[in-house]
Amino acid sequence: MKYFRMPLVGLLSATLLVTGVQTAVADEAAPQAPLRTLAERADLRIGTAVDMAALADDTTYRRTTGREFNSVTAENVMKWEVVEPARGTYDWSGADALVRFARERGQVVRGHTLVWHSQLPGWLTSGVADGSIDAAELRGILRRHITTEVKRYKGRIQQWDVVNEVFEEDGSLRNSIWLQQLGPSYIADAFRWAHAADPKAKLFLNDYNVEGINAKSTAYYELAKRLRAEGVPVQGFGIQGHLAIQYGFPGDVPENLARFARLGMQTAFTEVDVRMILPADEEKLATQATYFRGLLDACLGTRSCKSFTVWGFTDKYSWVPGVFEGQGAATLTGEDFGRKPAYGAVREGLAEGR
């Protein structure tokens, strides 16, 4: 579906996208400032997850990634299954390419993600399953993975998602191989090892369905409070922000961010997208825009939230249709990079600032 940017109040410029070639008809004022310029005025990193194949092959994607954002996150190329496909055999090519791309464009990098139950290399999951890797060896493998990857990018990663999705919806710990084999202490260990490898990186917990105050986000709050009291360097709470307009907008988002701030922690929106049941229409897109804006305003509403990342900025490469059948249109721009009302809402929110 081709989208045209909604006319923005105060701006006469209009951008008409034809066959992916962006022709901006600027008004008498300067051409429209990119999102990153507005974000910098608001002391915010506006980021996007990056699909490295698209970055290599799609010039519009590459140009937009560099122009609009001042933070990037590896959608997949920093995950364990990618960086260590065979035990002791590393492939840093994708991660290196993203870090280089970011450095060349003055962007910071969010590292995603060191410890997760998904996208683990096959040699590790099969070794645990067949018992050839016991708990003691697994702990050593985890320590080596974290130390190796964090040290490689020492000084070049602003924030690491150290552990990802460790709680269930009811606030109980997810029964992953990490919990089964190592017990709950794997979380504190992961943060300590990451901090030892790069003391300057800000170390985050990260999960979905934790935008408001609920059993899951409260489990993170209590975990962070306890670990910080024990001196564990848990410095940030990452709120993924995968929303859907067919569900209500989460309540208590500002209050949720505020309680982590009271612990002395940063917060970040790390993977924001807002899916819908297709086909998209004007009303659904307008609702989507309010959801993006609602999360952005919550972030701008507290100095402790310094980073707002969308999980891809174009529907062309979104993960959503492949996972949620019949749903999609979850990002700020369409398949043709046409700006949707959500893009305009994010722009206006950034322009209003804190």
Examine residue 319 and tell whether it contacts ligand G3I (CB under 6 A). yes
Please tell me the distance from the alpha carbon of residue 74 to that of residue 108, in angstroms, as a whole number: 11
CB of 118 to ligand G3I, least distance (A): 5
**DSSP state letter for 5:** P
Nearer to ligand G3I, 220 or 319 (CB): 319
H and E: helices and strands count for the chain: 14, 12
Nearer to ligand G3I, 58 or 75 (CB): 75
CB of 261 to ligand G3I, least distance (A): 23
Distance spanning both ends of the chain, measured CA to CA: 33
Please tell me the distance from the alpha carbon of residue 136 to that of residue 130, in angstroms, as a whole number: 15
Q: Closest Cα to residue 310, out of 291, 283, 282, 336?
A: 291
In the region spanning residues 126 to 165, those forming contacts with ligand G3I, defined by CB under 6 A, are 164
CB of 239 to ligand G3I, least distance (A): 11
Examine residue 119 and tell whether it contacts ligand G3I (CB under 6 A). yes
Nearer to ligand G3I, 242 or 347 (CB): 242
Give the type of residue at 246: Q
CB of 240 to ligand G3I, least distance (A): 5
Binding mask 74-93 for ligand G3I (x = CB under 6 A): -xx-----------------
Q: Closest Cα to residue 320, out of 217, 216, 237, 245?
A: 245
Q: Which one of 271, 282, 283, 325 is the catalytic residue?
A: 271
CB of 96 to ligand G3I, least distance (A): 17
Run of H or E residues at 24 = strand 21-25
Nearer to ligand G3I, 164 or 176 (CB): 164
Give the type of residue at 308: F
Q: Which of 71, 107, 235, 240 binds ligand G3I (CB under 6 A)?
A: 240
Q: Which one of 68, 75, 165, 211 is the catalytic residue?
A: 165
Nearer to ligand G3I, 47 or 341 (CB): 47
Q: Is 68 a catalytic residue?
A: no
Run of H or E residues at 322 = helix 320-323
CB of 217 to ligand G3I, least distance (A): 15
Please tell me the distance from the alpha carbon of residue 263 to that of residue 351, in angstroms, as a whole number: 29
Q: Judged by CB under 6 A, how many residues of this single chain contact ligand G3I?
A: 8
Q: Token pair 């590459």 is at which residue?
A: 62
In the region spanning residues 246 to 275, those forming contacts with ligand G3I, defined by CB under 6 A, are 271
Position closest to ligand G3I via CB: 319
**DSSP state letter for 212:** S
> Can you name the residues that pair with 207 across neighbouring β-strands?
239
Q: Token pair 């919550």 is at which residue?
A: 298
Q: Is 230 a catalytic residue?
A: no
Q: Which two tokens stand for residue 189?
A: 């260990």
CB of 76 to ligand G3I, least distance (A): 4
Task: Let me know if 111 is exposed, middle or buried by CB neighbors in 10 A (0-12, 13-18, 19+).
Answer: buried
Please tell me the distance from the alpha carbon of residue 101 to that of residue 104, in angstroms, as a whole number: 5
Cβ neighbours around 56 below 10 Å, total: 12
Examine residue 237 and tell whether it contacts ligand G3I (CB under 6 A). no
Which residues have a Cβ under 8 Å from the Cβ of 181 and sit 6 or more positions away?
128, 135, 138, 139
Nearer to ligand G3I, 32 or 71 (CB): 71
Nearer to ligand G3I, 42 or 82 (CB): 82
Q: What residues make contact with ligand G3I under the rule CB under 6 A?
A: 75-76, 118-119, 164, 240, 271, 319
| Catalytic sites, residue numbers | 165, 271
